Amino acid sequence: MTEPDAPRAVAAPTLTDGEWHRLHPLTPLFRGGLFLVVVAGIVIANLRDRLVFLFLPWFDDDIDRDIREFESGGDPVDFIIANNLYLVAGLALLGILAVLIGLFYLSWRFHTFRITGDDVEVRSGVLFRTHRRAPLDRVQGVNLTRPMLARLVGMAKLEVVGAGLDANVKLEYLSTGNAEAVRADILRLASGSRQARAERVDPGIVSRRAAAASVVSAGITGLIEGAEEPVSEPESVVHIPVGRLIASRLLSSSTLWLVAITVAIVVGSIAGTPWVLFTLIPALLGFGAYWVRTITRSLRYSIAPTPSGVRITFGLFTTITEILPPGRVHAIEVQQSLLWRPFGWWAITVNRLSGRGLSDGTTDQFTTVLPVGTRSDVERVLRLLLLDLPEAEWPLVFEHGLLGPREADPYTNTPRRARLLRLLSWRRNGFQLSPDVLLMRRGAIWRTLAVFPLARLQSIGLEQGPLDRALRVASVRAHTIAGRVSGRLGIIDRDAALELFGTAEAAVIHAAARDHTHRWAQGEASDPEGGAGMDPRTDPLEVPR
C-alpha cells in the first residue's frame, strides 16, 4: 500500500541526507547541448545551398549552378544516393545517436553529489575523475540561476559560494523545487543550525533503484509540462520602475563616452577623413548591445529579507537568485553620478567573497545589490545589510554621509591647507569612525559613501608620499576582500589619520568579539519564524554601548 508514496520519499528534503544523489536526468543535454548545436550549425552551413535548392528550386538560378559545381567535386549525399546506401547511412546516424546517448548517460551516471552536516561534495568524470568539496563552515552563500532554456523545463542550477579563489561548487542541474529546498538546507546547515528533521518514511522502504526511477520520472514530467514551477518568493522591499531603470542606464558614464566618441568621429570626418564616419556604426551597435544587456540583466529585480539572509533576484532571460547572509558583506558603497543627482537616484555595490576565478566575467553582476533607487530605497536596502547598526548612528549614513556636509559635520575632512589637492571635494572628503562601522565619504561630482563593518575589517594602513609629508596629510586604506568598493581615502590630516589608526584597532577587536551575524540562523531553533537569526541585536552576548 505504500508503493504509490515511494516517489515522494526522494523529494528535496532527502537530498541533504548525507547519501550520494544524481542530478537531473537532462543535465548532460544542457551541459553538452552547445557542442551539438555547433555540430548542427556546421552541417547546416555546409548544406545550406543544397537545402535551398531542394525546397526553393525557383529561388535563384545561381544556386543550381553552385550545386552542380559542388557535386562535380564529390558530394557525400550524391554518393549515398548513387550507390543506394540509404540503409547504411541511416544505421550510421543511429549509431552516432546511440553513442551520444551513451556518453550522456555515462556523464549523468558518474556525476553525483551529497550534502552532509559538514560538506557539499561533487564527483564527476568517467575516465578522469574529479572530486570537489566545499566545507559548510566556509560557505558564503548559495546562488540559484535559472537560464531561459532551463526554465522552460523547470530546471535550475545551484552554485555554492566558497571562501577562496575558484572555490565554488556547482550543482547543475536540479529541478527548480529541489534547488530551492536544497539551497535552504545548505544555508541552514552552514549557519550552524543542526536541527533533526523527522523522516516521513522509513529509509529502508525506498531502494536506490526506486529513487533513481523517481528522479527520471520527475525529469520526464518536467520536460512534458514545460513551464517552470512557480517559486515562492518573498515580497520585495524595493520596486524599480522599468522607465527609471532604462533612464538610469542611458544617463550613465557610458553615454558620456559615446558622446565623446561621436564628437571625435565627426570632427575627424570634417578635418578631411570622411571614412572615419563608418566607425560610428560599430560604436553605436556596441553601446546599444551594452545598454540592452545591462537593462535586461537588471529587470525582474527584487530584494527581500529571509531567515537565511537577504534574497536578491534579477535577470529577464537568465534569472539569478542569490542569498547574502548577514555577516558575509565586507564593504558597502552608495554612489551617485552627476547625471543622477537631479532625480535623486543612487546605486549600491558590495564587496563579498564570490568564490570565482579572476577570469570569470560574471563576477560583477553579483556585486550590485541595488541598480538604481531613491533615497528611501537606499535606506531599505542598507537596513537589510546593516542589521546591527544602532538607530543613533543612521544620521551618519544619510544626513551627513550621503547628503553632507551639513552644519555640525561630524566627519574628519581634508584640512584647508591641502584643499588644492581636492579642489572640489575637500569639504566632503573625510571619514567617521563609529562603534560599529567605518564610513568614508568621497567626491563632489560623483558622490560615494563607503561603509566598512568593523567586525569584518581586516586591517587599516596609512600611506604618505613626499607631498603628503610637506602638507602634513596622509592616506588611509581600509583593507577588505577585493572588490569594487575602494577602501582608500586620501589627503587626510596626518594626526587624525594616526588617531584613527590607533582607535580602529580596539574598535575592530571589540566589534568582532560581539559579532554573531555569521551564524545567521543560530536563533532558528528558538524562533519558529526565523526572526532571531536575522537580528543580531537580540544576542545576549552583546556588550552595551
Measured distance CA(303)–CA(322) in Å, rounded: 10
Q: pLDDT digits over 374-422, tens only?
A: 999 999 999 998 888 888 889 999 889 998 888 889 999 999 999 999 9
Which CATH code is given to the segment(s) 388-513? 2.30.29
End-to-end CA distance of the chain: 63
| Alpha-carbon gap, residue 173 to 158, rounded angstroms | 7
The conformation of residue 197, written as its DSSP 8-state character, comes to P
pLDDT digits (tens, 9 = 90+) for 288-306: 888 888 888 888 888 998 8
**Between 305 and 198, where is the model more confident?**
305
Domains of the chain, residue spans? 3-23+111-225, 32-108, 253-292, 388-513
Over range 426-446, report the average pLDDT.
92
Q: Determine the average pLDDT of the residues in 508-528.
A: 62
Cα(264)–Cα(492) distance, integer angstroms: 38
Average pLDDT over residues 193-200: 39
Question: Could you tell me which residues come within 8 angstroms of residue 209 by beta carbon, excluding any fewer than 6 positions away?
Answer: none
Give the pLDDT score at 84. Answer: 73
Sequential DSSP letters for 362-431: TSGGGTEEEEEE-HHHHHHHHHHH-TT--GGGHHHHIIIIIS---TT--SEE--GGGGGGGTTTTTT-EE
Question: For residue range 1-30, what is the model confidence (pLDDT) as tens digits?
Answer: 434 443 333 344 468 778 888 888 888 777
Q: Strand locations in 273-356, DSSP E?
A: 302-306, 309-314, 319-324, 329-336, 346-352
As a whole number, the mean pLDDT across the chain is 76
Whole-number Å distance between alpha carbons of 1 and 62? 71
Spatial distance between the Cα atoms of 12 and 495, rounded to a whole number of angstroms: 58
Stated as kind and residue range, the H or E segment containing 471 is helix 466-471
pLDDT at residue 364, as a whole number: 55
**Answer CATH for 3-23+111-225 from 1.10.3470, 3.30.1490, 3.90.550, 2.30.29:** 2.30.29
Q: Does pLDDT of 251 surpass 60? A: yes
State the Cα–Cα distance between residues 18 and 244, nearest whole angstrom: 47
Coil, helix or strand for 115?
Answer: strand
* Alpha-carbon gap, residue 472 to 491, rounded angstroms: 9
Residue 151 to residue 223: CA distance in whole angstroms? 10
DSSP assignment of 415-463 equals -GGGGGGGTTTTTT-EEEE-SSEEEEEE-SSSEEEEEEEGGG--EEEEE
C-alpha cell recorded at residue 195: 536541527
User: What is the radius of gyration, based on Cα positions, of the chain?
Assistant: 29
For residue 62 the three cell numbers come to 545561381
3-23+111-225 and 388-513 share one CATH topology? yes
- In tens, the pLDDT along 82-93 reads 677 778 878 888
% the chain with pLDDT above 90: 22
Inform me whether the pLDDT recorded for 478 exceeds 70.
yes
